[in-house]
């Protein structure tokens, strides 16, 4: 499985937890977002709208990491048995 640019990564990269309550997160720009549930849509939407250039940069970084991962993954598939890949593929 290749790495994925997900909401948790975006939240962790751009936001920090507010001091007053557990469900308030503060962006680097000062915007506050609430996270009472388990989703990250609120964070991703803010970053796409307010920080498009930084979001695109992060997306580019992640796609290059993903390409690198795929090349290693294809090497594993070529040089290993399926049992070995299942056991050690996560490394």
Helix (H, G, I), strand (E, B) or coil at 4: coil
Q: How many CB atoms lie within 10 A of CB 17?
A: 13
Does residue 1 form part of some domain? no
Does residue 72 form part of some domain? yes
pTM, to two decimals:
0.58
Q: Domain range spanning residue 69?
A: 7-88
Distance CA 21, CA 71 (A): 43
Does residue 73 form part of some domain? yes
> How many structural domains are present in the chain?
1
Q: Which residues contact 63 (CB under 8 A, 6 or more apart)?
A: 5
Res. 27 pLDDT band, cuts 50 70 90: very high
Q: What percent of the chain has pLDDT over 90?
A: 13
Q: How confident is the model over 45-71, as a mean pLDDT?
A: 78
Does residue 2 form part of some domain? no
């Amino acid at each position: 499985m290749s790495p994925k640019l997900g909401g948790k990564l975006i939240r962790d990269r751009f936001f920090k937890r507010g001091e007053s309550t557990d469900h308030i997160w503060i962006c680097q720009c000062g915007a506050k977002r609430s996270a009472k549930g388990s989703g990250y849509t609120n964070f991703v939407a803010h970053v796409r709208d307010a920080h498009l250039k930084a979001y695109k940069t992060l997306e580019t970084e992640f796609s290059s990491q993903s390409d690198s991962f795929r090349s290693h993954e294809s090497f594993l598939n070529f040089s290993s048995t399926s049992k070995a890949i299942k056991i050690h593929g996560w490394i």
